[in-house]
Amino acid sequence: MRCQFVVRENGPERLVCEAEVLFGEECGPLAGMKLIGFSIWRSPEGENYITFPSRAFGSGSERRFFDFLRSSEGNAADGKRVKQWILAEFVASRETDLGGAPGSEEREAATARL
- pLDDT tens for 16-64 read 999 999 999 999 999 999 999 999 999 999 999 999 999 999 878 899 9
CB-CB contact of 61 with 85 (8 Å): no
Q: Quote the domain boundaries for residue 12.
A: 2-112
In angstroms, rounded to a whole number, what is the distance separating the alpha carbons of residues 37 and 110?
20
- pLDDT tens for 57-113 read 987 889 998 889 889 998 889 999 999 999 999 999 988 876 654 444 444 444 333
Q: What is the pTM of this model?
A: 0.76
pLDDT of residue 88: 95
In angstroms, rounded to a whole number, what is the distance separating the alpha carbons of residues 114 and 96?
22
In the chain, how many domains are there?
A: 1
pLDDT of residue 100: 52
- DSSP string covering 3-44: EEEE--TT--TTEEEEEEEEP-GGGGGGTT-EEEEEEEEE-T
In angstroms, rounded to a whole number, what is the distance separating the alpha carbons of residues 96 and 18?
18
Number of Cβ atoms within 10 Å of the Cβ of 18: 17
pLDDT of residue 96: 81
In angstroms, rounded to a whole number, what is the distance separating the alpha carbons of residues 83 and 52?
8
pLDDT of residue 78: 93
CB-CB contact of 103 with 95 (8 Å): yes
